[in-house]
Structure 1
Amino acid sequence: MESFVPDLNPNEYFTYRGSLTTPPCSEAIIWFVFSDILPISYQDLRKFWTLLDADGKRVVNNFRPIQRSNRPVFRQKSRLHFNT
């Protein structure tokens, strides 16, 4: 992952058991959400606007309504290391 996203701190993230975001929305996923906000260039963002689905149609409104849940969310925070 470091070569793909070099500025990401892999030691600080949130995790929870969730579901797929596309049908059938199976609850079979463990999500990892990193604490760092990663910048994206305008040129890269434009690439997302031109994505096509399997039928060759533009991918738009690819989200679903927020699902009600009482799932616990866990936070992983890096340990401090001191040089002595």
Structure 2
Amino acid sequence: MCSTGTGNKEENKEREKAYKMKSSLQHKKKKVKKNNTNMGIKRNHSSIKKHVFFFIIFLINIIIVSNMFRMQGEGQEVGLRL
């Protein structure tokens, strides 16, 4: 009888250890998920900067080409010949 009582205490201790390990692992997983979302936001922000940069370059190119065609229509020399 006494041996089963101590066995139950040992089992309870093991269960508590397992529960603590499990809860700490879940806590670590939550931290990792948080860091991943932050990294994702940073990546998205940098990709938005890249898109804005290329969009501005694209608009500048359109303005240059339209000015070239206007100059050609007026009978002036085109700046770039292909």
Instruction: Mark yes or no: TM-score above 0.5.
Output: no
Q: Which has the higher helix share?
A: 2
Larger RCO, structures 1/2 (Cα 8 Å, 6+ apart):
1
TM-score by length of 2: 0.19
Give the number of the structure whose alpha-carbon radius of gyration is greater: 2
Q: Which has the higher strand share?
A: 1
**TM-score in terms of structure 1 length:** 0.19
